[in-house]
Amino acid sequence: MLDLDKFKQVNDTLGHAAGDQLFCEVAFRLRAAIRDTDVQARLGGDEFAIIQPLDEAGQEGAVVLALSIIQAIERPFDFDGHALSVGPSVGIALAPQHGREPRELLTKADLALYAAKAEGRNDFRLFRPEMVKAAHTQKALENDLRKAIARGEFELH
C-alpha cells in the first residue's frame, strides 16, 4: 500500500482539480514502475495498492518495487508551470508470511505504511508483528484520553 505525503497541501493550495490531475500522473508513474503481472488500484483518497506476485526474489523483489515507486513519485510534477513535489509512504505485507486473506494483508500493509509515515515519510516499511501491538497501544491511549477529557480530568496551568 502507499499514500501520498503532502497531498492535502496540493488540494489546499492548488485546488481539487490539481489533486485529481496529480492522481492521474501518479497512476501513470506507478504503471511505469510495476511489471505487467502486477496489479495497481486506487483505494480511495490518496491511497493506492499494488499486488505483486512474488518471484524467486521474494521479499527483496517487494523492496526493489517500493524503492522504484518512491523514486518515480518523488520526482517533481509540473502543473501549469508549478513544480509540485510529493512523496509516497509505502507499507509492505507479504503472503503467506504475514497472512493469506486479502483483508489481513491490507491491514498489515496499512500498519507498515503508517510506520513509514511516523518514521519520516517518503520511505517504506515491511510489516513487523510488533506493529500490531503498537497500534493497539495507540488506540487504547486515544480512548483513555477521550474519556479523561469527557470527565474533565485535565486542567490548564
Q: Please give the Cα distance from 52 to 32 (Å, whole number).
A: 14
Q: Round to whole Å and give the CA distance between 110 and 90.
A: 9
Catalytic residue of the set 3, 20, 38, 46: 46
Residue located via cell numbers 518495487: 65
Catalytic annotation present for 46:
yes
The whole-angstrom separation of Cα 154 and Cα 157 is 10
Other CB atoms within 10 Å distance of the CB of residue 89: 24
Mind telling me the catalytic residues? 46
